[in-house]
Amino acid sequence: MTLFRILYEIHKSPKRRRHMRAAQIVETRAAAVHPIVDLQIEYSLISRGIEDGILQTCRELGIGITSYGVLSRGLISGHWTKGTTGPGDFRTHSPRFQGDNVDKNLALVEALQKIAASKGVTVAQIAIAWVAAQGEDIIPVIGARRRDRLSEALGALDVKLTSEDLDAIENAVPKGAGAGTRYAEAQMAHLDSEVHG
């Protein structure tokens, strides 16, 4: 059983106290080798499966989060446009980048663009700052292929989001607004972070 699955089972259980004790035993056994201090998981404005119990359980157990996919493979960076993927590009197989899904997701990016413009920052910086604003225990990981994109991403450290900004972002991209899954259906079946019910 993976750590994701253990955390999910603990959170969803009606007998949570008993499961919390079990989790503490698991954590204690793991701590004998090395303490569990971090969970790496995809977390972005349109990949919010972590909010369905995993984040809360990690916080209860004192486990930090390293968040990857903060820009959803460039989709919510403000730089990606429809039709720019080529052969061999993973995104050609991702439901988020296909058909009507991509149009719906790019509409979310347009909504973020308005918020970013009002703050004098970029969409990527708003998206990164949103993840960082979800808690001091969350560290966004950013990938950049170009130096200017790295500078842009680092600029997100200077973006301070007010409660009004966070509300505007939530209204623009509410939980569940992202169209299409992260991966094809067969791959999604193997992700503990996407188990519901």
Cα 89 to Cα 87: distance, rounded to the nearest angstrom: 6
- Cβ count near 53 (within 10 Å): 19
pLDDT for the residue numbered 90: 63
pLDDT tens track for 120-170: 999 999 999 999 999 999 999 888 888 888 888 889 999 999 999 999 999
| Least confident range of 8-12, 22-26, 56-60 | 22-26
Cα 72 to Cα 44: distance, rounded to the nearest angstrom: 7
The domain defined by 3-194 folds into TIM Barrel (3.20.20)
pLDDT tens track for 84-114: 766 766 666 677 767 788 789 889 989 999 9
Residue ranges of domains in the chain: 3-194
Question: Does residue 18 register a pLDDT over 80?
Answer: no
Enumerate the β-bridge partners of residue 66: 40, 139
